[in-house]
Amino acid sequence: MACTCEVIGLACVVALILSASAKAPYQMRMFFIFFGAGAIVLICVPFMILRPRDYRNALFPSWCFRQLCRLMGITMEVRGLENVRKDHGAVVIMNHQSAVDLCVLAYLWPVIGRATVVSKKEVLYIPFFGIGAWLWGTLYINRSRKTDSINSLQKEAKAIQERNCKLLLFPEGTRNTKDTLLPFKKGSFHIALQGKSPIQPVLISKYSFMDDEKKTFRPGHALIHILPEVPTEKYKKEDVQQLIDECQSIMQTEYTKLSKEGLALSSKKQA
């Protein structure tokens, strides 16, 4: 335990240094995100084992990760809490930008309801973090084996109905830092139609404070907007593309608007 505390103490010192220097190397900040997440989970795993596969296992790690993000100068604001309905499940779809999305999940987890994240199987092998994520209910899918992925997602569709779960997915399928969202893949929407569940779009403003290509990463502010649910009752399985188009249009409009506001807020923070 003493060793673990020393690791966390060292992580906090590094975070303070990073927060004091806007010119801290991009690689160092990204390393700190993964190192900090792993250290936090390492502390919490012994307690999470007591109730495996329970979304509540992520509540304390989420709080810790939010504090670490603040030390790095990354702050986020969640809007649209009035749109969260905890009396039923939903398929929550979000835009995907970078590893900083871990911070987004840390902000969403306490407010979105009984959450479950769908992630690629490779994440399971990230030291400490992978097993911790499994313990709080992350569903790992093997993209190379489509049948296994479909079977796993079908089980989650039932869980949405039976346990009022919120299934969090990234319909773009990969990271995207451009101004336009990538075409959505159909998996998320098939799950919603199969489970007769609503779709809840969540938009995260563009991370104007970081640039993966130029390798820059400065303190900044991001906005997270939980939009009203999109009902799926009127859609049949063969109408899935219409449902995708509706959701993509709603999300692109809000993404453009939110990103402009986020850029202005981050610029003030960096001034």
pTM of the model: 0.88
- Please report whether residue 179 resides in a domain: yes
Query: Residue 13: inside a domain, yes or no?
Result: no
Distance (Å, rounded) from C-alpha 75 to C-alpha 162? Answer: 35
Give how many domains the chain has, as a whole number. 1
Sign of CA dihedral 262, 264, 267, 271: negative
| Boundaries of domain holding 162 | 26-269
Q: What is the pLDDT of residue 149?
A: 66
Residue 108 located in a structural domain: yes
Residue among 167, 144, 146 nearest 155 (CA): 167
- The secondary structure element, H or E, covering residue 111 is helix 101-112
34, 99 contact by CB (below 8 A): yes
The pLDDT score that the predictor gives to residue 214 is 86
Judge whether 175 lies within some domain. yes
Pairing mode, strands 216-217 and 114-120:
unpaired
With contact defined as beta carbons under 8 Å apart, do 102 and 133 qualify?
no
Crossing angle of helices 101-112 and 59-71, in 10° steps, is: 140
Residue 126 is assigned to a structural domain of this protein: yes
Could you tell me if residue 6 is inside a domain? no
Q: What CATH number has the domain bearing residue 95?
A: 3.40.1130.10
C-beta of residue 115 within 8 angstroms of C-beta of residue 108: yes
Helix axes 26-48, 2-20, angle to 10 degrees: 150
| Position 33 in a domain | yes
Q: What is the structure's pLDDT at 147?
A: 67
SS3 33: helix
Per-residue pLDDT of the chain (271 residues; tens, 9 = 90+): 555 555 556 556 555 555 544 445 788 888 888 888 999 999 999 999 999 999 999 999 999 999 999 988 899 999 999 999 999 999 999 999 999 999 999 999 999 999 989 888 899 999 999 999 999 999 888 877 766 666 777 777 777 877 889 999 999 999 999 999 999 999 899 999 988 999 999 999 999 999 888 888 889 999 999 999 999 999 999 999 999 999 999 999 999 999 999 999 888 877 6
pLDDT of the residue at 249 = 98
Q: Does residue 18 form part of some domain?
A: no
